[in-house]
Chain A
Amino acid sequence: MRASGTVIFLLNGTACTIDFHESTPYTPTTTVLQFLRSHPQLQGTKEGCAEGDCGACTVVIASLNQQSELVVEACDSCLIFLPMLHRKALITVEHIGTPEHLHPVQKAMVDHDGSQCGYCTPGFVMSLYALHHNHPESESSREVAEDALTGNLCRCTGYRSILDAALQVHDQASMTPNDQKQTIQGLQSLQSYPLSIVSQHQKYFQPHDLQEAVKLRSMYPEAVMISGATDVALKVTKNDEVLEEIIDLSSVKPLKELKITDHYIYLGAGLSLEQVKRTVEDLLPALYETLKVFGSLQIRNLATIGGNIASASPIGDTAPILMAYDAQVELVGPQSTRLVPMREFITGYRETSMQKDEMILGFNIPIPNTQTHVKWYKISKRKDLDISTVSGGFRLELEQDATVSHISLFYGGMAAMTKNASKTEASLLGKPWSREQVELSMDIIDQDFTPISDARAEAGGRRIMARNLLLKFWTDTHA
């Protein structure tokens, strides 16, 4: 497989190539939204924020999974770099219907008066399109519909009419069987090769196999790796950074591995958070709860678990809970792979113990026994699509007599990195798991953290939140 610099994808059903060597107006970090907005006939897709928070730019991306099945997902086009479309199908609002021949989801939006100003409407329509593809039975429950729409902001309608549209019964899936067949054939007809783009100011690699990825990582130690790019894209769109070297890991198959044994779940670093969410519902319910309110569906379809842990943000949501589960991080470098306990992986504000030539391969997560309590809590203003003000990943094991035999209290948002409340933990160990004891220990949290004040909350408020999360943990776990 020879690498090439030509990106090839289906644009509303038709093969489209972009060659960055020529004098295109696009760069490898041009976003799909910028690309669409530059085409007068593709301006149905709108920009509201350019940072993944409004969904006005929602498009549908269809691709083939390893079983050659069609995967149809709504994504925020403002967070996707053009080369990430390589060998995928991009579907925009213009493609699915016309004023004379509305698509069923468009018809539902008309019937329920789903627009006022209409600026958000194309984005909602595309979210609904993906929803109805993935839930064609769609007398779809209100919960599924709400989840599918949490990435779309509407300032006018108050959502009621849009939710009603989402629930309108369809006897028809989004894509007709013929559409699906054509899309699958179209995707299969696209040539398969790794990308190696060298443009005027940038290099962009999209390797297919792990050795190649690791080799590139050694060759370009300063390169930015991306998986879902939901974090990295903001550097470009918000901070105007020029990323000179990029290694796109999204096509490396071993990073998508998923293994479930009796005692462990192994999650490849490149699995999207939505894939992880769907996998862990029964086995790791606290991780499932974390992901249920993580970003929005559009974000979870792109964002990966590896990216979330690697970004080592103090308010990253999966770090506290993977620590509570006592997961291990598997790193791969040029020589070998190694395992690092999750609890030691993050070393500082956006710092990890990963070496310059390593990347995360996956996570080994022990499945706790039924006596172990693992819980996750998040305090934020809004229920969904809101970064945590304070979060907690907690684990508790009790003796027969209800004394604490193990407790871990990992907090996000209380320090420069995800950190456990070690003094508080020590105060509880060996003690009865009682309200009195918990209330005593709540006072110790202040000794564990000196939180900051920012736009989300004041330091004092964070302290109260941290205390109350412990109390909530007790409420949810005491006999």
Chain B
Amino acid sequence: MDTKKIKLPHGIPGHNLGQIEREVPADEPPAWPVNDELKHVGKRVKRTDAEAKVTGAAKFTSDIQLPGMLYGRMLRSDYPHAKIRSIDMSAAEKHPGVYAVHIFKNVVGMAQPADDDAAGEYPDIKFAGQPIAGVAALTTEIAEEALDLIKVDYEYLPFVVDLEEAQKPEAPLVFTTNVEQDDAGGGGGGDTGLKTVGNVRGPSTSSFYGGPRGDLEKGFEEADTILEQTYRTQVQTHCSLETHGVVVDWKPDNVTIYASTQNTKNVRDEFAEVFDLPKSQVRVIQEYMGGGFGAKHSLGNFGVMAGYLAKKSGRPIKLMLDRREEHISSGNRPNSIHYLKIGARKDGKLTAIQQRSYGTAGVGLGAGVGRIAQIMYESPNFSTEQYDVFTHAGPGAAWRAPGNVQGCYGLEQAMDELAEKLNLDPIALRDVTDTSEIRKVERHRGAETFKWSRRKLPASDPGLIKKGLGMAQSHWPRIVHIDSTAEVRAFRDGAVEIRSAVQDIGTGTKTVLSQVVAEELGLKPEDITVRIGDTLFPDGPPSGGSIVTGSITPPARNAAYKLKLQLFDQVASKLETDASKLAVDDGQIMSTEDPSKKIAFKEALKEMRTGQISATASRSDDYGGFMVGNAIAYGGLGSVQFAEVSVDTETGFVKVEKIVAVHSCGRPINITQIENQINGGVIQGLGYALYEDRVMDNETGHQMNSNFDQYKMPLSLEIPDIEILIVEDYSGRSSTDAYGIGEPANIATAAAVANAVYNAIGTRIFEIPITPEKVLRALNKV
């Protein structure tokens, strides 16, 4: 491969900004300077689809209506654990208005026996809410009437829904053999090949950052102080405002699926596999979708059911979950019991970290505590053991920094406790143990903005309402999805388009793409039409793991760059210059040597030999290569968050007064949208810290609060003053050097709030959510 050497910005402006020379493929575009010198990238650009959203014109999956469309509904088990002896669909099938019925032969989205042991005719029921069968009818009401007519003969079995009960030897078993899950979405513990004993699977001991390090025993011997503590987190449910759902339109030669998804490519591939169709005959469209946060990567049982019903009825099928189904079956953030033992020397240097965790993703895998303890602090001796515990409850799913949010809640409180034991300021302790340059800058810029120095000793506020300050920090890897492709087209009538199957789930991908293409072509973002969310276009990355911006903006820029070169070739002779001497700026193509030789970009398009030109580019490998495989880039996305709370010691009510969130995401592309993401991430973290909690009924195995009435999320009144600092952090690894922000925004909040609550009342609450009840208990404990 031909290569060339280019110099790219490297480092943190205002701190250590410099340049780095890297050898890159010869067809890569030249390096962009820092954002200050760019026109559209790094600026506050209006969201491209804002007008459609504020006027109600934006069409979501739940709004799709096709001629002849039927409505699908699914029958779900009311029992958490049962075998099905028989299912009688005859009455449902005959119900007037019903056009098709279907019984599941297997269900997806949960762990599956590694060696398929004598499976019965129907899948065993393993959680209340597991789908069994479905019907398609003229209206939702008729479909629901038909569901009532289905007769299922169950053999009821004992069940367990509680994380600790499930670990006891006498607990009813969820699985009787070892299990695996391809699409384990929950987080840490989804390794393959692990053994299951009772309901406990694991431990998972390694990650892409490697396995155990050093010698724990020795490490603890060398310590001056040892902290040993257990932290608990709850199950949180995603509560996307639009529930999961699809519309499947099965035509003889192709199937079109409108899906509320964050992964068009994956939905297409899964559908093609289930129905044994060529991928090219399956088209997935996601124009707008109402939130996913990690739970909407898959086709899901609802998508499979809609497919069967469409195939059987010959009519388009719409199948949207209702709010209750969404809570109980479509994913959640697994809970955790997180044990940490940390040894430290007097100066704060860590000598050993030992971590053990148990969590339940219900019938799914992935209830770990992530990799923050492994990577964020320097400790020569380290080990982690992360166990999945199975319960008869709905499966977990990925959610913003899977595992790491649970892990950070524990680790960052442990660091706070350790600092106190060592008589060090929490920031000073981290300055000693954390080698990340970006987090160091973030800590100190944040501390200044937050006025960290006003922090007092725990519980030193004399009044009944006590104030407290706390901070926490996090790490998230830079993940790249190299199967990410963008096409840029220009038309003779002046239109410029970018196309990719990548989807915008509200993160602002459309806007970011328009900025990058506009920057490269010397146009304005509003000149660029963004067509994405359709698998007719080249495959894009999934919207998860904060992958999208780092994966799709380099190909978008590179495709635009290639297209620009094509256009230069076409106009060079007309401008009596060499194509290599041409550049773009402000809607013009001009010679760099003689600015009078120029033509408007749009005029140049009119003169093209053909009606349109097009260029396509895929994600190049990172400049200088990846740290791990083809996906994990060097460096990480650091974040530091500060929280100020006031705690009413009489009602136990915790109010978060202020958050300072300091974040980096490589080269920031759209400041407004990044701030919007951080605000949203912080507020989800606040819900996690204070309100949200899936409550299971041990008697029935049902979720007691599968609604918005009792499952509480923050509303606008709870919103603290949030101040956001974005730190540019150039690493020179791709043509845009940009990364995402979705996950980092959410990781540290709960820990920062918990540390602030401790600082306020002087008693630590080791379990979230920190409800008035827990605060009052903690205060009356003495």
Contact = CB atoms under 8 A, between A and B. Distances in A.
Given A48-B323, A381-B691, A118 B777 contact: no
B684 interface: yes
A381 B771 contact: yes
B195 to A, nearest CB: 35
Nearest to A382: B712
Contacts of B239: 155
Interface string B656-677: 0000000000000000110111
B293 A163 contact: no
B16 interface: no
A468 B652 CA distance: 9
B502 to A, nearest CB: 15
Interface string A437-460: 000000000000000001111101
Interface in B234-274: 238-242
Contacts of B713: 153, 155
A469 B776 CA distance: 11
B709 interface: yes
Interface string A16-51: 000000000000000000000000100111111111
Interface in B283-310: 288-291, 293
Contacts of B54: 97, 102, 106, 109-110, 114-115, 121-122, 125
A240 B291 CA distance: 27
A119 B679 contact: no
Interface of A is mostly: loop
A117 B51 contact: no
Interface in A176-207: none
A153 B773 contact: no
A214 to B, nearest CB: 33
Contact of B676 (A157, A163, A456): A157
Contacts of B777: 460-461, 464
Interface residues on A, range: 35 or more
Interface in B93-123: none
**Among A53, A97, A113, residue most surrounded by chain B Cβ atoms (within 10 Å):** A113
A161 interface: yes
Contact of A387 (B58, B238, B709, B714): B709
A53 B707 contact: yes
Interface in A84-143: 92-94, 97-99, 102, 106, 109-111, 113-122, 125
A384 interface: yes
A117 B506 contact: yes
Contacts of A146: 716-717
Nearest to B504: A117
Contacts of A49: 323, 707-709
Contacts of B495: none
Nearest to B293: A155
A247 interface: no
Given A49-B708, A113-B50, A456-B710, A94 B55 contact: yes
Contacts, number: 243
B651 A377 contact: yes
Interface of B is mostly: loop
Interface residues of B, number: 77
B769 interface: yes
A156 interface: yes
A174 interface: no
A47 B62 contact: yes
Contact of B708 (A51, A118, A122, A157): A51
Nearest to A456: B710
B651 A156 contact: no
Given A116-B676, A457-B771, A464-B773, A152 B50 contact: no
B681 A158 contact: yes
Interface in B59-74: 59-60, 62-63, 65
A465 interface: yes
A455 B717 contact: no
A158 B685 CA distance: 10
Contacts of A111: 46
Given A43-B56, A117-B290, A125-B54, A153 B709 contact: no
B715 interface: yes
A465 B705 CA distance: 21
A271 interface: no
A162 interface: yes
Contacts of A460: 777
Contacts of A389: 772-773
A469 B65 contact: no
A156 B51 contact: no
Given A44-B56, A48-B323, A49-B323, A152 B241 contact: no
Given A122-B56, A153-B713, A109 B50 contact: yes
Given A56-B241, A94-B55, A377-B651, A117 B288 contact: yes
A455 B710 contact: yes
Contacts of B691: 381-382
A386 interface: yes
A471 interface: yes
Interface string B508-541: 1000000000000000000000000000000000
A160 interface: yes
A157 B679 contact: yes
A150 interface: yes
Interface in B469-518: 505-508
A337 interface: no
Nearest to B769: A381
B158 interface: no
B20 interface: no
A224 interface: no
A379 B684 contact: no
B467 interface: no
B385 interface: no
A181 B65 CA distance: 36
Contact of A384 (B49, B717, B776): B717
Contacts of B773: 389, 457-458, 461, 464-465
A154 interface: yes
B610 to A, nearest CB: 32
Contacts of B704: 454-455
A385 interface: yes
B775 to A, nearest CB: 10
A54 interface: yes
A45 B507 CA distance: 22
B695 A464 contact: no
A40 B62 CA distance: 11
Contact of A50 (B47, B323, B505, B719): B323
B62 A455 contact: no
B55 A150 contact: no
B652 A465 contact: yes
A156 B238 CA distance: 11
A379 B651 CA distance: 7
Interface in B750-782: 769, 771-773, 776-777, 780
B289 A110 contact: no
Contacts of B780: 464
Contacts of B56: 43-45, 92-94, 121-122, 125
Contacts of B242: 46, 48, 117, 119
A153 B47 CA distance: 21
Given A106-B55, A110-B51, A471-B650, A120 B241 contact: yes
Given A114-B50, A153-B715, 13 more contacts: A43-B59, A51-B708, A53-B708, A110-B54, A111-B46, A118-B58, A152-B715, A158-B683, A379-B653, A389-B773, A457-B771, A468-B776, A475-B464
13 contacts: A48-B242, A48-B708, A53-B709, A98-B57, A99-B55, A113-B673, A115-B54, A155-B240, A158-B676, A158-B680, A158-B719, A160-B675, A465-B776
Sorted from nearest, which 6 A-B pairs have the closest CB atoms?
Answer: A44-B56, A119-B290, A117-B506, A158-B679, A118-B53, A116-B506
Interface of A: 40, 43-51, 53-54, 56, 92-94, 97-99, 102, 106, 109-111, 113-122, 125, 146-147, 149-150, 152-163, 238, 240, 296, 377, 379-387, 389, 454-458, 460-461, 464-465, 468-469, 471-472, 475
